[in-house]
C-alpha cells in the first residue's frame, strides 16, 4: 500500500508538471529530500526518479518558462566557482573511486542550487518551494517524533522511513535540519497564502515544531541540543514578548527534564567534558589531523580524503580522589579512516583553503543579504509588504542554525542547505527586481521648488 501511494504521488507530480512545468521543480525538491525510491520496494526503486525529476525540472524551465525575470547573482557565481573547484580536486583526489562516488551527488546539489533561483520569479513560486521543503522534511520529522514518543529513540538506533543512517536520515544531520526548518514552518503558518491562515494550520505548525524538537531527543545527538539553544536565542529578535518567551522556554525545559531518558542526559553531559567520551575525543583528533594534512596539501585531497587519516585517541574518566587531587583513568586507542564530523573541516580537508574560503563566503554572504532584506522591508506598510522581511529572517535563522550544526556534523554539501541557499538567492533577486521600479519612480519624481515671496 505504501509503495502504491508513493508511486502514485510521484506520478501525480510528473503529470501536473506537463501543464505547469514549475511543478517539476517542486517534484525534485520532494524526491531529493524524502528519497521515496529508498522507501519504496517496487517501481520507484528500479527507476532513477531523482535524475528523471532533475532532467524534467531543467527541461521544463529551458523549453517553456519565461526567462525575462531570471537574474544571475553573485552567490550563484560562488556556487559555480565551488562546483568547478570541486571538479578539479576530484580529478586529483587521494582516493579516486570513492571521490567519484561522492561527486555523483554533490555536483547535482550544487547545480540545482544554481538553477533554483532562476525559476523563482514570483511570490507564489517562492512560497510553493518553501512549503514543499517544509512539508517534505516534516514527513520525516513527524515519523521520528512519533517513534521518539513511543520510546524508539537512541543514538544511531532511531529508525525512520529507511533503515539507513546516511544523508538526511543520519541522526545528527536530521537533528540540525529539523531545528533549522522551524523558522520556515512559522513563516508558512503566519504568511503563507496557499493554505488559509486558520486554527488548523496554526495547530499543525505547533505540532510540527514539537516533533522537530523531539528529533534531537530521539536521535540523542549533542548537535541537536546546541541547535535548539541557538534557535531559542535567535527567536528573541522576532518574538513580541521576550520575557514571556524566555519564561515559557525555561519552564518547558524544567518540565521536560524528568521525562528525558537517562541515556539522553548522560550523553548530553559529555558536551561539557568531551575528554571522557571517545566519540568526541576522536573528532578532536581528526580535526588536528586535518590541520596537519592541509599544511602539506593546501589545496585539499579531494572528496573522501579523510580515509587516509590515522589517529591516536586518549580518553580520561574520573575515578575518584578529592577536589584538589582527582584520579583519572586514562585509556588509549588507535583508529583510522575516521570521518571529519564537521562541515568546516570536511571542506578544508577535501577542498583545501581555496574551497573553504569560497564556501564560507557563500554562507556568510547569505546571512548578510538576508539581514539587508530585513532592514529594507521590516518598516514598510501595506499587506503586500508584510511577508518579505519575515521570510528573509526565517532563511537567515535556518542558515545560522545550519552553520552552528556544521561545526560538529559533516554537512558541508548537504543538499537541503543548498536548497535554502537557492531560496535565499531567489528571494534576493525577486525583491531586488520588484523593488527597483518603486525606487526608480521615487528617484525620478520631480522636486518642486518654492520661490521666496
Query: pLDDT tier at 452 (50, 70, 90 boundaries)?
Result: very low
**pLDDT > 70 fraction of the chain, expressed in percent and rounded:** 82
- Asked if 155 and 223 touch (Cβ cutoff 8 Å), the reply is no
Selected residue with higher pLDDT from 444 and 136: 136
Rounded Cα distance, 278 and 287, in Å: 14
Domain ranges of the chain: 1-65
Q: How far apart are CA 277 and CA 270, in angstroms?
A: 6
pLDDT of residue 157: 62
Higher pLDDT, 170 or 137: 137
Q: Chain-wide mean pLDDT for the chain?
A: 84
Q: Say how far residue 262 (Cα) sits from the centre of its chain.
A: 29
Give 5's pLDDT tier (boundaries 50, 70, 90). confident
Is residue 29 over pLDDT 70?
yes
Q: How confident is the model at residue 8 (pLDDT cuts 50, 70, 90)?
A: confident
Question: How confident is the model at residue 398, as a pLDDT?
Answer: 95
**Dihedral sign (CA 387, 61, 49, 164):** negative
Q: Which three cell numbers stand for residue 335?
A: 583508529
Q: Give the contacts of 343 (CB within 8 A, at least 6 positions apart).
A: 406, 407, 409, 410, 411, 412, 414
DSSP state at residue 298 = T
- How buried is residue 441: exposed, middle or buried, by Cβ count under 10 Å (0-12/13-18/19+)? exposed
Q: Show the cell assigned to 181.
A: 526548518
pLDDT band at 321 (very low <50, low <70, confident <90, very high): low
96-111 average pLDDT score: 94
Given this model, what pLDDT does residue 81 score? Answer: 96
Quick check: 365 and 81 in contact, CB under 8 A? no
Q: Which helix (H) or strand (E) holds 251?
A: helix 242-256
Whole-angstrom distance, CA of residue 155 vs CA of residue 359 = 30
Query: Which tens digit of pLDDT belongs to each residue from 56-69?
Result: 999 999 998 888 87
Give the per-residue pLDDT at 424: 96
Tens digit of each residue's pLDDT (9 = 90 or more) over 142-189? 988 888 887 766 565 677 877 777 778 888 899 999 999 999 999 999
Range of lowest pLDDT (100-109, 240-249, 320-329, 357-366): 320-329
Q: Looking at residue 31, what DSSP letter applies?
A: H
The stretches of 35-181 forming alpha helices (DSSP H) are 36-39, 43-46, 49-64, 74-91, 96-119, 123-149, 171-180
Amino acid at each position: 500500500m505504501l509503495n502504491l501511494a508513493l508511486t502514485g504521488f510521484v506520478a501525480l507530480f510528473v503529470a501536473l508538471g506537463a501543464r505547469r512545468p514549475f511543478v517539476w521543480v517542486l517534484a525534485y525538491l520532494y524526491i531529493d529530500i524524502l528519497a521515496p525510491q529508498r522507501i519504496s520496494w517496487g517501481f520507484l526503486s528500479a527507476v532513477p526518479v531523482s535524475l528523471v525529476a532533475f532532467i524534467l525540472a531543467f527541461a521544463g524551465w529551458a523549453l517553456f518558462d519565461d526567462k525575462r525575470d531570471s537574474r544571475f547573482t553573485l552567490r550563484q557565481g560562488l556556487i559555480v566557482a565551488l562546483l568547478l573547484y570541486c571538479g578539479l580536486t576530484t580529478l586529483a583526489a587521494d582516493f579516486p573511486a570513492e571521490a567519484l562516488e561522492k561527486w555523483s551527488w554533490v555536483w547535482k546539489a550544487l547545480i540545482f542550487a544554481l538553477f533554483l533561483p532562476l525559476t523563482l520569479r514570483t511570490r507564489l513560486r517562492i512560497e510553493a518551494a518553501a512549503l514543499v521543503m517544509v512539508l517534505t522534511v516534516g514527513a520525516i520529522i513527524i515519523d521520528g517524533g512519533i517513534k521518539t514518543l513511543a520510546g524508539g529513540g537512541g543514538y544511531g538506533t532511531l529508525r525512520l522511513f529507511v533503515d539507513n543512517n546516511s544523508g538526511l536520515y543520519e541522526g545528527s544531520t536530521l537533528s540540525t535540519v529539523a531545528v533549522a526548518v522551524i523558522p520556515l514552518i512559522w513563516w508558512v503558518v503566519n504568511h503563507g497564502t496557499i493554505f488559509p491562515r486558520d486554527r488548523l494550520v496554526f495547530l499543525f505548525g505547533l505540532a510540527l515544531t514539537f516533533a522537530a524538537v523531539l528529533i534531537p531527543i530521539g536521535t540523542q545527538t549533542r548537535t541537536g541540543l546546541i541547535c535548539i539553544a541557538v534557535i531559542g536565542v535567535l527567536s528573541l529578535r522576532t518574538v513580541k514578548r521576550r520575557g514571556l518567551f524566555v519564561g515559557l522556554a525555561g519552564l518547558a525545559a524544567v518540565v521536560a527534564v524528568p521525562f528525558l531518558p537517562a541515556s539522553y542526559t548522560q550523553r548530553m553531559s559529555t558536551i561539557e567534558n568531551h575528554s571522557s567520551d571517545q566519540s568526541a575525543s576522536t573528532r578532536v583528533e581528526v580535526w588536528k589531523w586535518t590541520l596537519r594534512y592541509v599544511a602539506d596539501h593546501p589545496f585539499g585531497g579531494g572528496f573522501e580524503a579523510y580515509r587516509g587519516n590515522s589517529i591516536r585517541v586518549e580518553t580520561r574518566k574520573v575515578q575518584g580522589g578529592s577536589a584538589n587531587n582527582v584520579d583519572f583513568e586514562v585509556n588509549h586507542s588507535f583508529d583510522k579512516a575516521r570521518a571529519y564530523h564537521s562541515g568546516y573541516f570536511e571542506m578544508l580537508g577535501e577542498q583545501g583553503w581555496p574551497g573553504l574560503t569560497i564556501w564560507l563566503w557563500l554562507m556568510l554572504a547569505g546571512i548578510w543579504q538576508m539581514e539587508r532584506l530585513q532592514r529594507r522591508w521590516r518598516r514598510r506598510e501595506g499587506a503586500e509588504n508584510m511577508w518579505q522581511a519575515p521570510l528573509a529572517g526565517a532563511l537567515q535563522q535556518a542558515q545560522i542554525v545550519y552553520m552552528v550544526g556544521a561545526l560538529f556534523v559533516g554537512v558541508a554539501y548537504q543538499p537541503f542547505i543548498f536548497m535554502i541557499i537557492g531560496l535565499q538567492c531567489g528571494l534576493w533577486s525577486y525583491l531586488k527586481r520588484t523593488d527597483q521600479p518603486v525606487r526608480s519612480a521615487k528617484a525620478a519624481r520631480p522636486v518642486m521648488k518654492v520661490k521666496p515671496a
